[in-house]
């Protein structure tokens, strides 16, 4: 008789329970181990697959993955391996795959539909190689810009991060996990990781549980609602307790309260770090016990956990039922994913899938909508027909590694700066050159200076070239060495000799168009004041240069809006829009009160006018959904896209609440001269606060409802809503 766990007509729950009952302790704990092939030798990896029953491998590609899978399938129970990869913005560890803009860049599209499509493309390309699991999306918030991993976030706001995170999760996981081209999503880093003190990666987050619930939990709650299959426990501690040792965060809050049904994987070496870095355990046995009791299910890259856990159970220190709970979750996901029903092996269709035309079209659309126009003085853009010679200058004008950013084959699993893309890519220089021929303009190029080395410069040569042109496009920003883990920055000013380069180019007296290629907002008040046009591209992926060129020449009307605020100065931080009131003076005495560029901000080649803000009801109760309506008119001469943003403020509450919070948005295309009525639903339950008792409540009283093109008070139309 066929075992239940091999019967595909049975439910994943039934199959998991049946298989679990057949497993030895060693087989169970083996399923909890993830081995990294970037660390383990070939023979060690084989040993883990064939004799220690490792449940997952990281960075196992091609023939290596096939071989390890066959070893696992030939064991007594034949439990397939789950292969994971960091497909963070596309399947970008493969030199022939589609590379999307970074999360920060794509979030500036404010387009959940395109973000979901990006997830779907990534899933298809990852699945085509027999891989099953991406460690994405990052649902941390980019609130301290000194943090090295700002580029991986969806920006500074929990509402926007939750919407976009849920969208890309749905893209990764598709209609059904068992579909051939669906992969597991992994929401990370749970929780409050980006809020570490001073923007220091993996340091302590000194936040109350009330703040954790109110600010950092909402995106993860949206991930749970979206059916996210896995969650990653973050490196850092929260108020002194490492997340991977916190039963309150992993078991009580995530699993019990939110109802998360998938499994929790630790981040890299989290359990080992309880001993060697954070010092909350004296040895691996104590660390393993803490990790097990806290609710971790899979242990990333701490192989010694395997032996310690076996000893703990045999000695009666840890109950085997705790092991069973973790393994049942892992097996359930493996069955739901279809690994036991043939999906464990590659599809052998990657040559028809990787970077196919359909995928590239989606990428191009998302990239276009992710570029943000920050300045356009005297409507210098689009470039006019009298521009016959263009000087493209700057260290990032022709640097595809800077444009790609972190988490591509240039940086992971090991640094590989000599990697060569197998697909076409467009730097800004290439994009300008290709489009300039259409407008019969000559293009000349000079690097000008290096980003990291102030001595590596030829500013005089760059200025001479600029003087011979009709317009100058300066492409500046930061580089891969300034972004990612271990790359926290104290100074957000332009590095190297970039500021000197800009000043020399401005002195040439020619129109100066500045393009930013960077992994995070930089402090650029001079560029903001003196450039004739300023474009933010962030890490825009393989098509970034093409999309920027289309905007410069007017082939595309820019529609990107910032998902993150820009500071005047590093010392002005934090500058996120949804701060708490009460600060005496509401500013540093030597800095403006507002950020350099605000959350939600971005320009278009047309203009929009808001009017007639109305609510479907002005008095409501907590069970209502109120329709917020506004008219938006395109008052310019060309069609354009506008992102209508809805903010609220609780005017009086039992705890201090932010000056405004995003609670809805809608991106719409409006034709020249057209007026459209935009309706955004506001679920009154979204007006919750977390009170001192950590309870979610909507308190009665007045709320200010604000609608406009961005988060600045000066552009928002306002009305009042009373909740009874």
* Residues annotated as part of the active site: 267
Q: What angle do CA 111, 358, 182 make, to 5 degrees?
A: 75
Residues in contact with 348: Cβ distance below 8 Å, sequence separation at least 6, in sequence order: none
Q: Tell me the CB-side half-sphere exposure of residue 641, using CA atoms within 13 A.
A: 21
Q: Quote the CA–CA distance of 224 and 602 in Å, as a whole number.
A: 31
Q: Rounded to a whole number, what is the distance in angstroms from the first to the last CA of the chain?
A: 63
Q: Which residue stretches of 144-225 are H helix?
A: 158-173, 209-211, 217-225
Residue 314's region, left for phi above 0, alpha for psi from -120 to 50, else beta, is alpha
Q: At what angle are helices 112-127 and 357-370 packed, to 10 degrees?
A: 140
Write the CB contacts of 627 (distance below 8 Å, at least 6 apart in sequence): 615, 616, 679, 680, 681, 682
Say how far apart CA 483 and CA 451 lie, in whole Å.
13
Q: Which residues pair with 666 in a beta bridge?
A: 644
Rounded Cα–Cα distance for residues 397 and 574 (Å): 30
Residues with Cβ < 8 Å from 589, sequence gap 6 or more? none
Cα–Cα dist 577/555, whole Å? 32
Residue in the structure block whose two tokens are 């992102």: 643
Cβ-contact 636, 606 below 8 angstroms = yes
- All residues at 6 or more sequence positions from 286 whose CB lies less than 8 Å from its CB, including other chains: 274, 275
Q: What is the DSSP string of 423-462?
A: S----HHHHHHHHHGGGT-EEEEE--B-SS-TTSB-HHHH
Cα(251)–Cα(472) distance, rounded to whole angstroms? Answer: 56
Q: Which residue, 402, 412, 366, is CA-closest to 518?
A: 402
Residue 102 burial (10 A CB sphere; 0-12, 13-18, 19+): buried
Establish whether the linkage from the previous residue to 93 is cis, with ω within 30° of 0: no
> Is-contact 55 31, C-beta < 8 A?
yes
């Amino acid at each position: 008789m066929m075992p239940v766990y091999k019967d595909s007509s049975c439910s994943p729950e039934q199959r998991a329970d049946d298989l679990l009952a057949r497993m030895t302790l060693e087989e169970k704990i083996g399923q909890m181990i993830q081995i990294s092939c970037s660390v383990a030798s070939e023979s060690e990896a084989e040993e883990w697959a064939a004799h220690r029953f490792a449940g997952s491998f990281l960075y196992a590609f091609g023939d290596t993955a096939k071989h390890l899978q066959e070893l696992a399938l030939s064991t007594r129970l034949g439990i397939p391996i789950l292969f994971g990869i960091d497909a963070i913005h596309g399947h970008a560890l493969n030199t022939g795959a589609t590379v999307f803009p970074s999360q920060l860049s794509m979030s500036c599209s404010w387009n959940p539909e395109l973000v979901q499509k990006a997830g779907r493309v990534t899933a298809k390309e990852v699945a085509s190689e027999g891989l099953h699991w991406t460690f994405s999306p990052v649902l941390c918030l980019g609130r301290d810009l000194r943090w090295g991993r700002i580029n991986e976030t969806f920006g500074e706001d929990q509402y926007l991060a939750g919407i976009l995170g849920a969208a890309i999760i749905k893209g990764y996981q598709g209609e059904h996990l068992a579909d051939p081209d669906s992969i597991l999503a992994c929401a990370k880093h749970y929780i409050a990781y980006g809020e570490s003190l001073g923007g220091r990666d993996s340091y302590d987050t000194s936040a109350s549980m009330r703040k954790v619930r109110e600010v950092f939990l909402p995106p993860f709650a949206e991930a749970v609602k979206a059916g996210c299959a896995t969650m990653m426990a973050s490196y850092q501690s929260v108020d002194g307790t490492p997340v991977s040792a916190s039963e309150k965060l992993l078991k009580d809050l995530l699993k019990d309260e939110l109802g998360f049904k998938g499994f929790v994987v630790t981040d890299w070496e989290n359990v080992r770090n309880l001993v060697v870095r954070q010092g909350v355990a004296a040895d691996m046995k104590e660390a393993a016990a803490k990790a097990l009791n806290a609710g971790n299910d899979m242990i990333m890259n701490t192989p010694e956990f395997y032996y310690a856990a076996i000893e703990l159970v045999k000695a009666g220190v840890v109950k085997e039922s705790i092991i069973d709970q973790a393994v049942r979750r892992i097996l359930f996901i493996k069955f739901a994913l279809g690994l036991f029903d043939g999906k464990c092996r590659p599809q052998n269709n990657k040559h028809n899938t990787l970077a196919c035309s359909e995928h590239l079209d989606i990428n191009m659309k998302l990239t276009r909508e992710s570029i943000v126009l920050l300045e356009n003085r005297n409507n210098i853009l689009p470039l006019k027909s009298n521009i016959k010679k263009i000087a493209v200058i700057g260290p990032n004008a022709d640097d595809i590694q800077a444009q790609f950013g972190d988490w591509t084959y240039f940086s992971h699993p090991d640094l590989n700066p000599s990697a060569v893309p197998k697909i076409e890519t467009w730097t800004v220089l290439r994009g300008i050159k290709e489009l300039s021929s259409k407008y019969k303009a000559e293009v000349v190029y000079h690097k000008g200076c290096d980003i990291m080395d102030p001595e590596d410069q030829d500013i005089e040569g760059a200025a001479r070239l600029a003087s011979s042109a009709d317009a100058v496009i300066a492409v500046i920003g930061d580089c891969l060495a300034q972004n990612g883990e271990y790359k926290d920055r104290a100074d957000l000013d332009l590095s190297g000799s970039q500021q000197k380069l800009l000043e020399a180019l401005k002195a040439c007296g020619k129109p100066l168009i500045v393009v930013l290629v960077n992994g995070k907002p930089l402090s650029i008040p001079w560029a903001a004041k003196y450039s004739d046009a300023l474009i933010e591209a962030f890490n825009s992926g393989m098509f970034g240069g093409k999309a920027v060129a289309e905007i410069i020449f007017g082939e595309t009307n820019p529609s990107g809006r910032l998902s993150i605020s820009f500071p005047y100065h590093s010392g002005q931080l934090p500058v996120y829009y949804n701060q708490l009131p009460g600060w005496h003076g509401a500013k540093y005495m030597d800095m403006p009160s507002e950020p350099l560029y605000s959350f939600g901000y971005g320009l278009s080649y047309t203009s929009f006018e808001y009017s007639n803000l109305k609510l479907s009801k002005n008095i409501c109760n907590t069970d209502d959904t109120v329709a917020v309506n506004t008219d938006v008119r395109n008052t310019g001469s060309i069609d354009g896209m506008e992102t209508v943003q809805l903010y609220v403020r609780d005017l009086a509450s039992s705890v201090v609440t932010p000056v405004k919070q995003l609670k809805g948005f809608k991106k719409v295309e409006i034709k020249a001269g057209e007026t459209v009525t935009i309706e955004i639903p506001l679920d009154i339950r979204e007006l919750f606060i977390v009170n001192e008792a950590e309870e979610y409540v909507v308190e009665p009283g007045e709320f200010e409802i604000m609608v406009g093109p961005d988060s600045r008070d000066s552009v928002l139309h306002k009305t009042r809503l009373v909740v009874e």
